[in-house]
Structure 1
Amino acid sequence: MSAADNFVMELQHPADVDVDCAAGRSERAKWLLNSPDPPPPLQELFTSIKDTVLPPPKSKKVLRPHNRCFFFLQGLFPILKWGRNYKATKFKNDFIAGLTLASLCIPQSIGYANLAKLDPQYGLYTSVVPPLIYALMGSSREIAIGPVAVISLLLSAMISKVIDPSIDPVNYTRFVFTVTFFTGTFQALFGFFRLGFLVDFLSHAAIVGFIGGAAIVIGLQQLKGLFGISHFTTKTDLVSVIGAVVKALHHHQWSPLNFVIGCSFLIFILITRFIGRRNKKLFWLPAIAPLTSVILSTTIVYLAKADKHGVKIVKHFKGGLNPISIHQLNFGSPYVGEAAKIGLICALIALTEAIAVGRSLASLKGYHLDGNKEMVAMGFMNVIGSFTSCYTATGSFSRSAVNFSAGCETVVSNIVMAITVLICLLLFTKLLYYTPLAILASIILSALPGLIDLNEAYNIWKVDKLDFIICIAAFFGVLFGSVEIGLLLAVFISFAKIILNSIKPSTEVLGRLPGTDIFCNMVQYPMASKISGILVVHINSGLLCFANANFIRERILNLVVDENGIEGGGLRVLVLDMTNVMNIDTSGIHAVEELQKKLISQGVELAVANPNWQVINKMKASKFIEKIGSGWIFQSVADAVNASVCLKMNVLNSC
């Protein structure tokens, strides 16, 4: 069969069309070439900020000035929108959920403040102001705001290297407030400028490994309180902590009574949790178990005078309203750079934890959670929190799950919780004088198993081995190094993965599925067939830039050489499918120009199919369209192939 016969058979394909269809292709190409310019970066930035604080109205009617103001306030404070339809039946559920939350939050907050190496009242302060601010600005109905274990560990581990809390507790506390201010500022900026993608630099695998390693480190840190050890290491790695425990036990620098009290109530809390999981109606039992443990253990220590027999207690506990701490923020310190760095890390970790739990619970309730609005809300609550003696707060996994199980309807449950904690601060802090530190340690230890997700680590292993390496690196980095080393390892490997995929993206040869105009990867779909004299290449990269342009150009030229070797120099058209290419820089355009010159020298025409808005705009600005000719730009691969087939027929007819 001759080549002309092959072309005639190709033209009999349903996708091959007559002159009218060729005119249609030309018209579609004009739509592409004459598309308006994309908005400039400053306009995109302004629109992004506007959409964050002032969402577009559902109706297209022009709003009056006072309506615009109210609409703006609704965007910034969602409570103004849903609060108008709030009913007493919802408050009943929120009230019960709030009280349940408070019973869990009070002992946990005291324990987490101890973990952050702060006085106990700061944990309770952090459970008052941030939840109230979030209730005004947040959009999640189920998330419970307050101090959490991972952030408390981050603060103590990183700030202790700058200021030792045992030597200078006053400046340490001031530094914590300054870090909290920076954390809130970064979070608010991420939300305003829609920079939520920065949170994604900490991949899911990295977070699983980091939180798992941090949970073990937190657990090891609690051995100090559980054993009643007076002198303990300030380091967080596994070797140092185990060494400090062994040394204390060997020299009898521990109290057996602390261990007995702590283990007894730890077993009690774990038993109530087991019962709560077996019987969902008893969800409240594990929620009130920590507060019950605090009350019982404090009573026992007070009646038995156990503090005189080696049991370590909280002692003085300052109560009252949150004192103003704005004057304690220290921006003139030589360590302000360190405060900003720690604030940035805490902002990313806190947002990742909060948005993850918020979105998972929102999906169960069937509504969407706007990540950028959540960032703004959490940023403001931490900035205001730093002015009112609070340290970094975020959404808690364990307390949010309790809030959800308790049947909360709205964030009013956070308001109820905050008011309950405030009442505790005003009236009951003196009663906590005899609370044993071993109980706080047992409460924190009881919350840690939920942070170690072995099933998810196994799923990561099954799905992506490189992701599993990231997970393991974060886990062992935290466990045997420090929280910073664990994070750096995870981020470094994640970036290496991104760079590797960006520098060496794949290119696919496409073929047409029988009886259709669909072109797809011939390796994945062996039934797809090539069209004689035409090579369709798909670029599998979202960005054609300086990092990968030369690599992609060489890959395509190698495919052309291979194709000409198979067809004996019969290749006439290369169709470059740019569907996936979202943007291109000057290096990318230069590489495409060089590719076109090489192809022309070999007698092959270059056709560009489906370039993105940004791509076609930059091709026009660089005069590349003039060089290649507007007749070689197509809206789809099918248009490009059909036009190329017609070109081949014209060449054959002229011969």
Structure 2
Amino acid sequence: MEELQFEMEDTRRMERPQWVLNSPDPPGLWHELIGTVKEALFPHGNKLSSSSTKQDQSRGIVSFLQGLFPIISWGRNYKASKFKNDLLAGLTLASLSIPQSIGYANLAKLDPQYGLYTSVVPPLIYAFMGSSREIAIGPVAVVSLLLSSMIQKIEDPIADPIAYRNLVFTVTFFAGTFQAVFGLLRLGFLVDFLSHAAIVGFMGGAAIVIGLQQLKGLLGISHFTNKTDVVSVLKAVFRSVHHPWSPLNFVLGCSFLIFILITRFIGRRNKKLFWLPAIAPLISVILSTLIVYLTKADEHGVKIVKHFKGGLNPSSAHQLQFNGPHVGQAAKTGLICAIIALTEAIAVGRSFASIKGYHIDGNKEMVAMGFTNIAGSLTSCYVATGSFSRTAVNFSAGCETLVSNIVMAITVLISLELLTKLLYFTPIAILASIILSALPGLIDINEAYNIWKVDKLDFLACIGAFFGVLFASVEIGLLAAVGISFGKIILNSIRPGTDVLGRLEGTNIFCDINQYPMATKIPGILIIRLNSGLLCFANANFIRERIMRWVTEKDETEENTKGKIRLVILDMSNVMNIDTSGILMLEELHKKLASQGIELAVANPRWQVIHKLKVAKFVDKIGKGCVFLTVSEAVDACFGSKMVDLSHC
């Protein structure tokens, strides 16, 4: 009876490697591409085909519409009680959005109304297509700085404001197009090229640069540099000392900056007063405008907004430039803005979604943001994304759904219709103080310190982005961050970890002997785990040399013992894919080991890997009996008294 059980176990053990060898071919590249698009458009798996029933087709259409417009799903259960909370949140959000939008338009070198336009159409579009409940869409400081710093190198906003504005709309269209394509093709990983550490450094550097840029408005300086690096800005400030400037701008701006910061301190101390720091910027704009109007301070050196065009968003479709000499530069700028805007929006959305206990799909968010910015480019808006400060206000105000964005957009639209003439006397120093008050949230010193403690290479990317933005330009800072992050990836790819495995006593578990010293090596067998997702040209030679060095060292130390290596087992469970260089390396490794009388076995190869090894005839060269489902079965095949004899390999 016992012998029969052994025979049955031997039979099953011989069958299991066939599961690996006889697995079906994996899907091709084109099939995967089509699948990703279908998954983005039909999230519930419904398909439309000529053979489908009318009911299936209707379900597919509904699934498509629900994936594209999430408001169809949550709108069915929307109640009046939720609207009460959304109305309060939307009005609170608008009170912060109006002054911030005007200030950010100034930062982007655009007329004030374009900031308000960007707080009308993009939030409305996102409300129908977005999946985050709390995110507040509109202009943000970092993207505004990015636009002005890159586009003013192509068109001068002072010498030719119309050409500059047209280029901004064109860049916004390209940014939206890139974002939509990223989402439809499920290319969310492109955003991850900007690592968390790089974003922390980039945001910190950008916040300081933005703050220094506001010295122009805060001091009432007429002649200022267009460069964004800290050296050029400080030179411009020191040069202005020898030119006429009005201290009234500084006194007015600093007074209301202190007021805004005090209200923020009170709001943090007392959560019930969350609305106080939210409406403080709007109160500052109203009071400062009244002060200037009543005292005629504009005649005594206080700089004011002056020209302010109101009304509905005008069409800008005819202003997009696709045939001019700067199309390529506009597309490049649009790509950079698209990635930065997506990174900020997805980070903000996921942060608040985790608090509420739900998940947002990054690819769907890309599609929503893409169509939001495409529509914005056609309606006189520039690149919009999720704002952390306004989202925090929206969350604190108790928003339930994206209806708060709709309320905010309608409120801003009413302001454009009724209040723009009253904003004629708004001092520019107040806009500068509002922007300055929002910057501390972009500088996260504690997170930078945590990055330093956890990963020094990550901290290098953080510092590279920070100093690149601070002392060179926004583009250089981004390039430094991405370059260092790529360098880290390349370093890990060309020098992947390779572990020698041993068995934990009393189990069939094999693990790294350095991490688990109690694990014991199997006499005569060298088990190596490859810790690289891709076995390719970049790391193939390194891995081969490492394996041969281990074989040589082990044989030299155990030359006169019974522990001389007879078998090398490669645990390939971590290897997701392999290229021709990787296969060639395995063939060379097999030949070198065979010349020394050592067999080579492969354990747990993944789907793509075993498929390519079969196509390349590598399995035929080492023998089908040398491919195993697990490391344990490969070891048993060598030493089990009732197991498969490895000499048949």
With the length of structure 2 as denominator, give the TM-score of the two structures.
Answer: 0.96
- SS of the residue 1:330 aligns to: coil
Q: Report the Cα distance in structure 2 between the residues aligned to 1:182 and 1:650, rounded to whole angstroms.
A: 62
Which one of the candidate residues 6, 21, 31 is aligned to 2:19? 31
2:407 alignment counterpart: 416
Residues 1:589 and 2:591 aligned together: no
Residue number among 591, 596, 604 corresponding to 1:602 in the alignment: 596
How does 1:267-346 map onto structure 2 within 5 Å? Answer: 267-346=258-337
Please tell me whether residue 98 in structure 1 is matched to residue 86 in structure 2: no
Is the contact made by 2:216 and 2:224 (CA closer than 8 Å) also made in structure 1?
yes
Equivalent in the alignment of 1:154: 146
> In the aligned structure 2, how far is the partner of 1:517 from the partner of 1:153?
58
Deviation, 1:648, is: 11
In the TM superposition, residue 18 of structure 1 has moved relative to its aligned partner by 3.8
Counterparts of 1:377 and 1:651 in 2: how far apart (Å)? Answer: 59
Question: 1:170 maps to which residue?
Answer: 162
Map 1:122-133 → 2, pairs under 5 A: 122-133=114-125
Matched, 1:536 2:527: yes
1:468 to 2:456 alignment: no
Amino acid at match of 1:492: G
Other-structure match for 2:223: 231
**CA–CA separation in structure 2 for the residues paired with 1:649 and 1:398:** 66
Pairing partner for 1:620 from 592, 614, 639: 614
Quick check: 1:461–1:467 contact (8 Å CA) kept in 2?
yes
Q: Distance in 2 between matches of 1:503 and 1:143?
A: 40
> Following superposition of structure 1 onto structure 2, how do residues 557-568 of structure 1 map, counting pairs within 5 Å?
557-568=548-559
Q: Distance in 1 between matches of 2:33 and 2:125?
A: 26
The 8 Å contact of residues 25 and 634 in structure 1, kept in 2 or not, is answered as no
Whether the 8 Å CA contact 1:572–1:604 is kept in 2: the answer is: yes
Q: What CA deviation, in whole Å up to 9, does each residue of 1:192-229 have, x standing for no partner?
A: 11110011110111000000000000000000000000
Per the TM alignment, residue 649 of structure 1 is displaced from its structure 2 partner at its CA by: 8.8
1:352 aligns with 2:343: yes
1:246 counterpart (225, 231, 238): 238
- Specify which of 60, 76, 87 is matched with residue 84 of structure 1: 76
1:187–1:544: structure 2 CA closer, same or farther, 3 Å change rule? same
Question: Cα distance 1:163–1:651, how it changes in 2: closer, same or farther (>3 A)?
Answer: closer
SS of the residue aligned with 1:64?
Answer: helix
| SS of residue matched to 1:608 | strand
TM-superposed deviation, 1:57: 5.0
* Aligned ranges 1:453-464 → 2 under 5 Å: 453-464=444-455
Which runs of at least 4 in structure 1 moved beyond 6 Å after TM superposition? 58-62, 647-654
Q: Mark the CA change 1:534 to 1:486 in structure 2 (over 3 Å): closer, same or farther.
A: same
Superposed CA offset, 1:435-477 (max 9, x none): 0000000000000001000000000000011111111111011
* Contact 2:274-2:393 within 8 A present in 1 as well: yes
**1:271 and 1:255 mapped to 2: Cα distance?**
25
Report what 1:9 is aligned to.
none
Amino acid at match of 2:193: F
Aligned 8 A contact 2:201 2:462 in 1: yes
Contact 1:22 1:643 in 2 (8 A): no
Query: Which region of structure 1 is more displaced relative to structure 2, 645-654 or 592-601?
Result: 645-654
Residue 130 of structure 1 aligns to a residue whose secondary structure is helix
Distance 1:410 1:148 in 2: 21
Matched, 1:260 2:251: yes
Number of aligned residue pairs: give it: 637
The structural deviation recorded for 1:520 is: 0.6
TM-superposed CA distance for 1:65, in Å, is 2.2
> For the residues of structure 2 that align with 1:112 and 1:609, how far apart are their CA atoms?
58
Task: Tell me the amino acid that sits aligned with residue 400 of structure 1.
Answer: T
2:635 to 630, 641, 646: 641
Structure 2 letter corresponding to 1:601: S
Aligned twin of 2:420? 429
- Gaps of at least 5 residues in structure 2 are none
Cα deviations across residues 304-325 of structure 1 (Å, max 9, x unaligned)? 0110000000001001110000
Do the aligned partners of residues 652 and 344 (structure 1) sit closer, same or farther apart at CA in structure 2, a change above 3 Å counting? Answer: closer
- Please tell me the residue identity of whatever aligns with 2:542: F
Amino acid at match of 1:627: K
Q: Deviations over 1:233-265 (max 9, x none)?
A: 11111111111111112x143211100100000
SS at match of 1:85: coil
Q: Alignment partner of 1:603: what SS?
A: coil
With 265-274 and 234-243 compared, the bigger mean Cα shift is at: 234-243
Secondary structure (helix, strand or coil) at the match of 1:575 reads: strand
Question: Could you tell me how far apart the structure 1 residues matched to 2:348 and 2:113 are?
Answer: 26
- CA shift, 1:69, in A, is 1.5
CA contact (8 A) 2:638 2:646 kept: no
**Residues 650, 287 of structure 1: CA spacing in aligned structure 2 closer, same or farther, 3 A cutoff?**
closer
Amino acid aligned to 2:192: D
CA distance in 2, matches of 1:640, 1:25: 10
Residues in 1 aligned to 2:312 and 2:135: alpha-carbon distance in whole angstroms: 24
CA distance, structure 2, for counterparts of residue 650 and residue 35 of structure 1: 22
Deviation at 1:54, TM superposition (A): 1.1
1:578 aligned to 2:572?
A: yes
Per the TM alignment, residue 629 of structure 1 is displaced from its structure 2 partner at its CA by 1.1
Q: Structure 1: where are the runs of 5+ without partners?
A: 1-16
Q: CA deviation at 1:639?
A: 1.1
CA displacement, residues 361-389 of structure 1 (integer Å, 9 cap, x when unaligned): 10111111100000000000001100000
Cα distance in 2 for partners of 1:429, 1:644 equals 84
Could you list the per-position Cα deviations for residues 336-393 of structure 1 after superposition, in whole angstroms to 9, with x for gaps in the alignment?
1111111111111111111001001101111111000000000000011000000000
What's the C-alpha RMSD, in Å, of the aligned pairs? 1.8
Q: 1:361 to 1:475 in 2, by over 3 A?
A: same
How many angstroms apart in 2 are the aligned matches of 1:574 and 1:396?
55
* Residue of structure 1 equivalent to 2:40: 52
Deviation at 1:619, TM superposition (A): 0.7
C-alpha spacing 1:362/1:240, structure 2 compared with 1 (3 Å): same
Indicate conservation of the 8 Å contact 1:212/1:475, yes or no: yes
Deviation at 1:58, TM superposition (A): 9.2
Which residue number in structure 2 is paired with residue 3 of structure 1?
A: none
Letter in 2 for 1:31: W
Once residues 505 and 7 of structure 2 are traced to their aligned partners in structure 1, the CA distance between those partners, rounded to angstroms, is 23
Task: State the Cα distance separating 1:651 from its structure 2 match.
Answer: 7.8
Q: Secondary structure at 2:303's aligned position in 1? A: coil
> Equivalent residue of 1:509, what SS?
strand
Structure 1 residues 651 and 589: CA distance shift in structure 2, 3 A: closer
What TM-score results when the alignment is normalised by the length of structure 1?
0.95
Secondary structure, counterpart of 1:516 in structure 2:
coil
Identity of counterpart residues, as a percentage?
A: 73
Q: Please give the alpha-carbon distance, in whole angstroms, between the structure 1 residues aligned to 2:522 and 2:459.
A: 42
The letter for the 2-side match of 1:209 is G
Offset at residue 122 of structure 1 (A): 0.3
In 1: Cα distance, 2:522 partner to 2:32 partner? 42
Using the alignment, how far apart are the partners of 1:242 and 1:107 within structure 2? 26
In 2, Cα distance between equivalents of 1:651 and 1:639: 12
CA contact 2:638–2:645 (8 Å) conserved in 1: no
CA distance in 2, matches of 1:110, 1:490: 30
* 1:516 corresponds to: 507
* AA matched with 2:231: V
Instruction: Tell whether the 8 Å contact from 2:40 to 2:184 is kept in structure 1 after alignment.
Output: yes
Match of 2:538 in 1: 547
User: 1:520 is paired with a residue of what secondary structure?
Assistant: strand
Pick the aligned partner of 1:138 from 127, 130, 140. Answer: 130
SS at match of 2:24: coil
Separation in 1, partners of 2:236, 2:647: 89
Query: For 2:600, what is the secondary structure of its paired residue?
Result: strand
Residues 608 and 634, structure 1, Cα contact 8 Å, conserved in 2: yes
